[in-house]
Structures are given as structure tokens and as C-alpha cells.
Amino acid sequence: MSESNTFRITRRHFLGTVAGGIALMAAGPSFAQSKTLQVLSHRVHQTSLGEGDKDLLAAWKQEHDTDVVFTTLDSNPLMDRLFREASLAQTDFSVGYMVDNRPTSDNAKLFESLQEYQDKDPIEAFDDIAAGLVRGMTIDGRLIGIPVRTATQGLFYNEELLAEAGFDAPPTTLEELVAQTIAISEHGKATGMILASDLAVFPVMFARAFGGDFINGDFELLPDPAAMQTALTVMADMFQKGALPRSYATNKGEELLTWMQQGRAAFSVLPFARAAQLNDPAVSNYAGKIKAIGFPISETLKGKVEMSAVVEAWAMTIPANAVDKDLAWQFIKEVSSKKNTLGMALNGNGPARVSTFLEPELTAKNALAEIESQVLANARGAFPPFAEAARAQQIFIEEVQLAVLGRKSPQDAVASMQARIQPLLPA
């Protein structure tokens, strides 16, 4: 069931008694704001900004004499609602949060070009927002969203399982990672690595480690086919040698946490934000022993190019049919400030600013902050959004599975990807 709620964030507090209610009514306009900004988002975007006496926007709302009303939905219903609202003659929602894998050339036209606002009234230290995130929200040369929340993929490892297999440090190259996963599997206590077969994130990370990709920002399919072929060869070898579980073809994303918490696998690829869950003593058998690093690049490229991890991001947009675009931009500017980016991060939000991860308040709370900062600086989405993206991803996943399971050669899988997916790409 999707979550759909409307919450009003104000400086007023419900007094809870008849007398208090009467007093509030008597106070009248002194508590009310003269303007209202309607925001369409996921609940996490609202909660990260705080509420009540911890409201990060309290001063901004007072300064702008503005009340902010959030309407929140789960991710897919939210995207459906946002595009539907933006298609109307006019919408009451002046700000909409959008995930970065949804704006295509067609639906991006429904939203304001924010570069014009940025040129006139710039966001503080805009170049501090990770470049890959900004590129992900720039569609056909138009910046339509300001990144505000991230989920960056890291390589998690169980240091106890590594030590038991004779390793005193995590891998520094992709080749070392593969060797460690195979050795740990042979050791017998755990599977080397757990990956989900139903997500493109994992083969994309392996391909990028060898300098390849699935679809780049210019919509070039398999820009380096040999790199993808190498990645599939490596993954197939890992499966054959038991470094990936026999259940690989049916493993789903939600299982990765459980495998790592139970010590059934020594490595996995997950968002850095999962560290707390992985090390929660209430649910993890290895609390405090599951660490993370950036996903390593191949030894053939180490020191020559930077590894580009996969990141998913949310951004704030202004529908072209919104009722108060100038106020919406002021809201986006305020939320995007360094101060509020840090405040949201302390509330559990994944920052879009690279520098935020290095703030002492955050590093004291998050041991992985500095590592995530380094990874985010070069991260980008798994592939750019386009009309047939879902179908293209499904074909990609299907071919990857066939290659990893040994039912098709990596060379044939890559050739099939090229033949089947190319017709789906934008002209």
C-alpha cells in the first residue's frame, strides 16, 4: 500500500486543550503565514528537514512569511503524481521531488529550466554539488532538478571473515576482490560475494571497473564492448568457482542485507547508508565488523582513471505550470544551502554536496563519511533515463544472467545486448 499524507510544517503547535484552541484562534493572523508553498515529495524528504522545534526551515518560513505543506507518497506513486500534475493546465505544487532515473526528453519539458534561476540568483557553492548528480538532472542541455538526496554504492566487507581466510585488509583492485571472494568461498564458512541478479547496478559496477559501461550519458550503448565482455567473464568465473552463490539467478536486492548480517557472504555492494543496519547488534551477527570502501577499479586502470560508482539521487524540480515559481526557487536555494545540507545529513539524508561528508559534525557520527565523499565525487547513475529504459534494463539483466550462469558466452551476451537494446535507444 502506498503512503499518501499531507503534512503542514509551521511554527504553530496544536495546544491540545479547548483553552489552548481558543487562545490559538484568538491569536489569529499573528501565527498564520500569508503564503503557502505546496511541495510534492517522499516522506523521507520532509522528515530530513525536521519538524517542530527542530525544523531546519523555521527561519526561512518566517523571513518569507510562508507556510510549507508537504504531500508525501511512496516513490512510484510519487513519480506518477508528479508527472500527472505537471501535465495539467496548472498545478498547486510549486516544488516536486524527482528521482534521477525518471526524466526523459519528453517529460523533462514539463519542468522549468533551472539554470536561468541559478544565473540570476545562485545557489550557494553550486559546484560543491557532485557533478555526476547535476549531469543526471540535465536533460537535453536543460538543468531541470537540483540534487538533494543520494544513495551511493559502496563495497561492504566482513573483516572477520576476511581475517579467517587469511586477509588482513580489503582489496585495492578488482582483481584482488575476485581473488579474495574465491579464497573465502574455498575456505568454506561463507560465500565470497552476494549480488542480486535482478538489478543492473552490479554488472554496471563491474563493467566500469574495467573502463566500460552499459549506456553512457550520450546514450552510447556499451561504449567499450570489450570491457563489458571482460566484466561478464569475471562474474561468470566467480559463479563457476562458488564465489557467487548457486542461488545467484534468484537472489533479490532485499536479500543482500540479510546475507551480510548473518555472515553468509563476506562481500556485497550496497548504499553506504546501509552501514548502520549491517552493524545493528539487534539484527546483525557481526555488528561492528562490517566495513565499507569504494568499489575497486581494475589494476590495469588504477592510478589512470577514477572509478565511477553507481549512485541514485533525488532532485527538487519546479513544474512549468506551477503557481509560484519564484518562491519555489527560494525554497530550493534554502534547502540546498550548506547549512541545511548538513542538517539533513545529520537527520539521515544522503548529502548531494561532496564537502558535507567532511564536516566534523557528520564525520563524528558517520565513520564512512569521508570514504563516501570520495566515491560520490565521481559517481553517476547506472544509466540515463529514456522512454524504453525499463525494457532495456530488463534485456541487459537477462543477458547478464545467461552469461554469468554459463548458458551463453560473454561474447555472445554482449553481441545480443547490442542487437536487442540499440533499437530502444533515443534516435
Report the pLDDT value the prediction gives residue 30, as an integer from 0 to 100: 39
**Which pLDDT does position 315 carry in this prediction?**
98
CA–CA gap between residue 288 and residue 303 (Å, rounded): 31
**Which is more confident, 15 or 348?**
348
Would you say 278 and 290 are in contact if contact means Cβ atoms under 8 Å apart?
yes
At 49-96, the pLDDT tens digits run 999 999 999 999 999 999 999 999 999 999 999 999 999 999 999 999
pLDDT tops 70 at residue 393: yes
In what helix (H) or strand (E) does residue 36 lie, and over which residues does it extend?
strand 35-41
What is the distance between the alpha carbons of residues 225 and 217, in angstroms, rounded to a whole number?
Answer: 16
Question: What SS3 state is found at 148?
Answer: strand
Secondary structure class of 170 (helix, strand, coil): coil
Residue 14 is predicted with a pLDDT of: 36
Is residue 112 predicted with pLDDT exceeding 90?
yes
What the chain holds in terms of domains, given with CATH numbers, is 35-151+311-377 (3.40.190.10), 152-309+383-424 (3.40.190.10)
Give the separation between CA 194 and CA 156, rounded to whole angstroms. Answer: 10
Model pLDDT, residue 200: 95
Q: Over the stretch 137-186, which tens digit does the pLDDT of each residue have?
A: 999 999 999 999 999 999 999 999 999 999 999 999 999 999 999 999 99
pTM for this predicted structure: 0.87
**pLDDT over 90 at 287, yes or no:** yes
CB 213 within 8 A of CB 417: no
Q: Is 347 exposed, middle or buried (0-12, 13-18, 19+ CB in 10 A)?
A: middle
Say whether pLDDT at 289 is over 50: yes
* pLDDT for res 328: 98
- What integer pLDDT is reported at residue 24 of this predicted model? 37
Asked whether 15 and 21 are in contact (CB, 8 A), the reply is yes
pLDDT at residue 78 in the model: 97
Q: Is the pLDDT of residue 248 over 60?
A: yes
The predicted model gives 335-363 an average pLDDT of 96
pLDDT of residue 294: 98
In this prediction, residue 65 carries a pLDDT of 96
Residue 224 pLDDT: 98
- Measure Cα distances from 224 to 191, 209, 227, 263, 402 in Å: 30, 12, 5, 36, 20
The predicted-structure confidence for 264-282, as pLDDT tens digits, reads as follows: 999 999 999 999 999 999 9
pLDDT of residue 253: 87
When pLDDT is cut at 50, 70 and 90, the band that residue 32 belongs to is: low
Q: Report the share of the chain in percent with pLDDT over 70.
A: 93
265-271 and 146-158 beta bridge pairing? antiparallel
Q: 410: number of CA atoms within 13 Å, CB side?
A: 16
* Cell matching residue 36: 503557502
pLDDT tens digit sequence for 190-245: 999 999 999 999 999 999 999 999 999 999 999 999 999 999 999 999 999 999 99
Mean pLDDT taken over the chain: 92
Q: Is the pLDDT of residue 11 over 90?
A: no
Query: What CA–CA distance (Å, rounded) separates 71 from 93?
Result: 9
